[in-house]
Each structure stands twice: as C-alpha cells, then as structure tokens.
Amino acid sequence: MQSTDNGETWEDSYLPLGIKSVSVNGIPKHTVRAAQLMAGKTYLFKVVIIGGKNEGESNVITHTVS
C-alpha cells in the first residue's frame, strides 16, 4: 500500500511486475516494484498481510522519487 499524505490515507500500489520471490540460504526474500509514481513526491509504503500466522501490517518505509 502507499500513502502520499504521511499515512493519513492509504491506497493500493500499482505493481505491474508483481512480486518476485527467491530464497537466499533458505530465507525467503521478496521484491516489489511500484509504478506510476511522481518525481519529487514522497511516498510511504507498507505491506498488509491478510490471513495466516503473519497477518498484519509491516513497518512503514519512506521513499522520495527522484
């Protein structure tokens, strides 16, 4: 999910390439690339897991598009 108002509201991120998953030394690693972001704008991102033992929201990261 992504936010452009410092987390006041959240919307689904556009992920045209989907999620790439690999295993490194038996540890799963996932890569996601969001698209249609505006240059000069700061975005907050988080992952929301629905169901399962890891259900919930991830930590939030901040990224400013150059």
* Residue-range domain boundaries for the chain: 2-64
pLDDT at 36: 95
pLDDT at 41: 97
Give just the sign of the alpha carbon dihedral 34, 8, 51, 60: positive
pLDDT at 2: 97
pLDDT at 8: 97
pLDDT at 10: 98
Q: In which residue ranges of the chain is pLDDT below 70? A: none
pLDDT at 38: 96
What is d(CA 23, CA 15) in angstroms, rounded to the nearest whole number?
A: 21
